[in-house]
C-alpha cells in the first residue's frame, strides 16, 4: 500500500528485452509464485497494468499511465461519468497476515487516497495517521501528518512535524518541499531555497520544485540561476506553459519574472 520506486524511468531498455526486464521488476516484489499463476501466458505486465495514453498530444512525461493499475480498465469512461465518488475499501496487495495488520502502511495508503482529491478519505486518513504515530515516530508518517495539519492551518505544528521527519530522513522530498514553502512564506527564502535544491536534485522530474527555485532566483535578480532551473524543468516537462512563459521573460531585455 505504500509508494514504491520500481525502476529508473529514464533507463533505456532494448526493445527485445523490455517484456522480460519489466516483468522481472514486477516479480521482484510480487514473487515468482505469484507470476506463475497470474497470466503466465501473457508475460507483458505493462500492457495491462501500465497502459499507454491514447493521446500523443501531451508531454513525454504523460505518455504512460504510471499508476500500475491492479486491473486493466474494462468499462467505458462514460458509464461512470456521473457517478458520485464513494469511499473505497483498501485491501493490501499482495495479501498476508502481516500486511493486513500493518497500521503504518494503511495510514499512508489512506493519506495517498485523500491527497488524490477524495474528500471522504480525509477523516479516515487522519484517524489512522494519529493512531500509527502513537506507536511509531516513522518519518513518512510524520511527513503525512504534517500535510494533514497544513490543511488545517496549524503552521507551528506543521513546521515541527516536517522538521522531525527530516531529522529522521533528510531525503523526504515532500516534507522538504512543503517546509520550504512555509519558510518562503515566512520570509526565510535562503532556507527555502536550500530545502528545494536538495529535493530537486533528488527528484528533477518534480516541475513544481524547479519552478519554485526559478522564481526565487529570478526574484533575487539572479537571472542565470533562474534560467538554469527553468531549463531543467523544460527538459523534463517541455510543454509546461508556466516554464515556457518564465523562460521568455528571462530571455527578454531586460529580464523579467512576470508576464
pLDDT digits (tens, 9 = 90+) for 21-67: 888 877 777 777 767 777 777 788 877 776 554 444 444 444 444 55
DSSP 8-state assignment for residue 129: H
- Ordered DSSP codes for 14-27: -GGGHHHHHHHHHH
| pLDDT tens track for 244-256 | 999 999 999 999 9
Domain coverage including residue 129: 103-186
Q: How far lies 87's CA from each of 110, 208, 212, in Å?
A: 10, 29, 34
The reply to whether 163 falls in a domain is: yes
| pLDDT tens track for 216-255 | 999 999 999 999 999 999 999 999 999 999 999 999 999 9
Query: Residue 7 — pLDDT band, cuts 50, 70, 90?
Result: low
Q: How far lies 174's CA from each of 60, 157, 170, in Å?
A: 23, 16, 11
Query: Residue 78 — pLDDT band, cuts 50, 70, 90?
Result: very low
| pLDDT reported for residue 44 | 82
132: domain CATH number is 1.25.40.10
CA atoms of 159 and 139, how far apart (whole Å): 14
Closest C-alpha to 64, from 47, 39, 86: 47
| pLDDT tens track for 166-203 | 999 999 999 999 999 999 999 999 999 999 999 999 99
Domain limit, last residue, from 186, 213, 236: 186
CA atoms of 208 and 203, how far apart (whole Å): 11
Is the same domain home to 161 and 212? no
The reply to whether 156 falls in a domain is: yes
How many CA atoms within 13 Å lie on the side-chain side of 112? 13
Closest C-alpha to 105, from 90, 122, 120, 89: 90
Is the same domain home to 166 and 223? no
| pLDDT tens track for 113-170 | 888 888 888 999 999 999 999 998 999 999 999 999 988 888 889 999 999 999 999 9
- CB 140, CB 35: distance < 8 Å: no
Amino acid at each position: 500500500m505504500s509508494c514504491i520506486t520500481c525502476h529508473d524511468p529514464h533507463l533505456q531498455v532494448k526493445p527485445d528485452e523490455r517484456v522480460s526486464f519489466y516483468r522481472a521488476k514486477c516479480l521482484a516484489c510480487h514473487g515468482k509464485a505469484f507470476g506463475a499463476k497470474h497470466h503466465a501466458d501473457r508475460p507483458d505486465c505493462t500492457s495491462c497494468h501500465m497502459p499507454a495514453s491514447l493521446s500523443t498530444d501531451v508531454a513525454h512525461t504523460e505518455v504512460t499511465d504510471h499508476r500500475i493499475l491492479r486491473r486493466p480498465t474494462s468499462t467505458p469512461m462514460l458509464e461512470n461519468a456521473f457517478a458520485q465518488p464513494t469511499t473505497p475499501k483498501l485491501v493490501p496487495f499482495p495479501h498476508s497476515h502481516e500486511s493486513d495488520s500493518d497500521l503504518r502502511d494503511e495510514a499512508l495508503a489512506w493519506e495517498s487516497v485523500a491527497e488524490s482529491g477524495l474528500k471522504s478519505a480525509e477523516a479516515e486518513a487522519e484517524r489512522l495517521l494519529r493512531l500509527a504515530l502513537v506507536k511509531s515516530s516513522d518519518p513518512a508518517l510524520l511527513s503525512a501528518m504534517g500535510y494533514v495539519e497544513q490543511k488545517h492551518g496549524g503552521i507551528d505544528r506543521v513546521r515541527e512535524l516536517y522538521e522531525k521527519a527530516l531529522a529522521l530522513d533528510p531525503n523526504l522530498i515532500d516534507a522538504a518541499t512543503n517546509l520550504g514553502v512555509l519558510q518562503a512564506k515566512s520570509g526565510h527564502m535562503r532556507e527555502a531555497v536550500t530545502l528545494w535544491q536538495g529535493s530537486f536534485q533528488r527528484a528533477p522530474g518534480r516541475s513544481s520544485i524547479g519552478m519554485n527555485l526559478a522564481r526565487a532566483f529570478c526574484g533575487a535578480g539572479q537571472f542565470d540561476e533562474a534560467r538554469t532551473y527553468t531549463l531543467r524543468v523544460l527538459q523534463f516537462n517541455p510543454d509546461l506553459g508556466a516554464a515556457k512563459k518564465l523562460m521568455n521573460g528571462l530571455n527578454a531585455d531586460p529580464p523579467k519574472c512576470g508576464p
